Amino acid sequence: MARPFMTGLRTIRERRGWSQAQLAAVVGYSDAFISQLETGKKQGSVTALKRLADALGVTTDQLLVDDDNGVGLVPQRLGTTKCRCR
């Protein structure tokens, strides 16, 4: 189950044009933690999943969907959003 999450997180983050550091700054985690989530070295908590989804403007379901199964991760209408880094 870790693979769809790490794939979804990376794909959505990249579609937004955000670096791992930018996402980390928004959610209050380290960029190393974001990297570990995306590579499957760590699994995030439900709280982390919610914070990441909120920051990226998607639902938690969209982070957990495997794009390889033909289900889009993010509707195209969302497009790129500028990072609101602190």
Q: Could you tell me the residue range of the domain that residue 40 belongs to?
A: 2-58
pTM, entire model: 0.71
Within 8 A by CB and 6+ apart from 16, the residues are 56, 80, 81, 83
Question: CA-based angle 41:80:49, to the nearest 5?
Answer: 35
75 falls within a domain: no
In tens, the pLDDT along 60-84 reads 888 877 555 444 444 444 444 455 5
| Neighbour count for residue 55 (Cβ, 10 Å) | 21
Rounded percentage of the chain residues whose pLDDT exceeds 70: 66
User: Based on the structure, what is the number of domains in the chain?
Assistant: 1
31 falls within a domain: yes
Q: Are 81 and 16 in contact (CB under 8 A)?
A: yes
In tens, the pLDDT along 22-38 reads 999 999 999 999 999 98
SS3 (DSSP) at 58: coil
CATH number at residue 51: 1.10.260.40
